[in-house]
A = this chain, B = another copy of it.
Amino acid sequence: MDKIALDKLNAGSEDDFVRALGDVFEHTPGLARAVYAKRPFGSLGALYEAMESAVRGQSRDEQVRLLQAHPDLAGKAARAGTLTADSKAEQSSAGLDQLSEDEYTRFHKLNEEYRKKFGIPFIVCVRRHGRDSILREFDRRLGNDAATEEKAALTEVLRIAALRLDQRVSATDRLKVNGRLSTHVLDVHSGRPAQGIAVELLTVPRSGPPVVLARALTNADGRTEKPLLADQPIPIAAYELRFSVGPYFATKDIKLADPPFLDTIPLRFSVAEPEGHYHVPLLLTPWGYSTYRGS
């Protein structure tokens, strides 16, 4: 989807404004309409703050209605295909559109339990989570009291809105809603960046097979041309980087064991801050390696 320029929004009509931003808050275009009056916005940050103020300024009843306007996660609306375009894309990003029957049943039960306790749907900014993490959040938040949970739900609504806004509007600034996951490989055997190493990034769910998210080749700097993940929150989840170092060393003039001591090197780690920068490098020789969370 092409982004719309902030300048254009500042200069446009109220209807254009609401057409562009009305669905930043699920089924609640009134919030965009209220914010229109505050134009012009000097930055995307200022626009977001106006939207946050509009939500915080709502009465409690209005806020509850806003929360209730959200669909269940992996719920009936998803199955029936009646989600908003945003919700559909978000839920599929976390793989919630590909649950097994068992998982669907588990989500259904948790949704029921949550609605029964709090009277609202379970809302979470799914782009910030992997499937295991969503289930963990479900469990954790079911233990909250109602007041705490209303606050938590509103926080998630604002996270969702910030992400939608950041993806929809272009400006000279960005909202701090995205993280980055990158790597680089240093060949400490030759004292040079390791060029030409195939790298895979996978998510490793607690059950079920790992899923490849990105593939890349290291360049002359030992880096991949672009970060493995960027311009998005890095979902809270377990990941594995896999480096094909056997083929790399095989092209060098080095005496190796047969089979070589190191062939595919897996690095497994978890992301806990979706907006963080995760740089996970590999320092490599044919006989050993190091890794660490870098910066």
Q: Which residues of B contact A263 (CB under 8 A)?
A: 238, 268, 270
A288 touches B258 (CB 8 A): no
Query: Is A222 located at the chain interface by the 8 A CB criterion?
Result: yes
Q: Mark A266-288, 1 if CB is under 8 A from B, else 0.
A: 10111011000000000101111
Closest to A273 in B: B257
Closest to A283 in B: B292
Number of copies: 4
Q: Which residues of B contact A192 (CB under 8 A)?
A: 295
Interface residues of A in 215-260 (CB under 8 A from B): 221-222, 236, 238, 255, 257-260
B295 touches A288 (CB 8 A): no
Which 6 A-B pairs have CB atoms at the shortest separation, nearest pair first? Answer: A288-B292, A191-B287, A257-B272, A290-B290, A259-B270, A188-B288
Residues in A lying within 8 Å of B, measured CB to CB: 133, 184, 186, 188-193, 221-222, 236, 238, 255, 257-266, 268-270, 272-273, 283, 285-295
Pick from B221, B266, B272, B285: contact of A189, CB under 8 Å: B285
Closest to A294 in B: B186
B266 touches A266 (CB 8 A): yes
With most chain B CB atoms within 10 A of its CB, the pick from A221, A222, A260, A269 is A269
A-B contact pairs, 23 of them (CB 8 A): A186-B295, A188-B188, A188-B287, A189-B189, A189-B287, A190-B255, A191-B286, A191-B292, A221-B295, A236-B259, A259-B270, A260-B270, A260-B272, A261-B272, A262-B270, A263-B268, A266-B268, A283-B288, A287-B292, A289-B290, A289-B291, A289-B292, A290-B291
B222 touches A287 (CB 8 A): no
A290 with B283, Cβ < 8 A, contacts A191-B261, A257-B272 known: yes
Besides A257-B270, A283-B292, 19 other A-B contacts (C-beta < 8 A): A188-B188, A188-B288, A189-B287, A191-B257, A191-B261, A191-B286, A191-B288, A238-B263, A261-B270, A261-B272, A262-B269, A264-B268, A283-B288, A285-B285, A288-B291, A288-B292, A288-B293, A289-B290, A289-B291
Inter-chain CA distance A31–B262, complex, in Å, is 42
Closest to A242 in B: B268
Q: Which residues of B contact A293 (CB under 8 A)?
A: 188, 191, 261, 287-288
Inter-chain CA distance A4–B243, complex, in Å, is 49
Q: Which residues of B contact A261 (CB under 8 A)?
A: 191, 269-270, 272, 293
Inter-chain CA distance A189–B270, complex, in Å, is 17
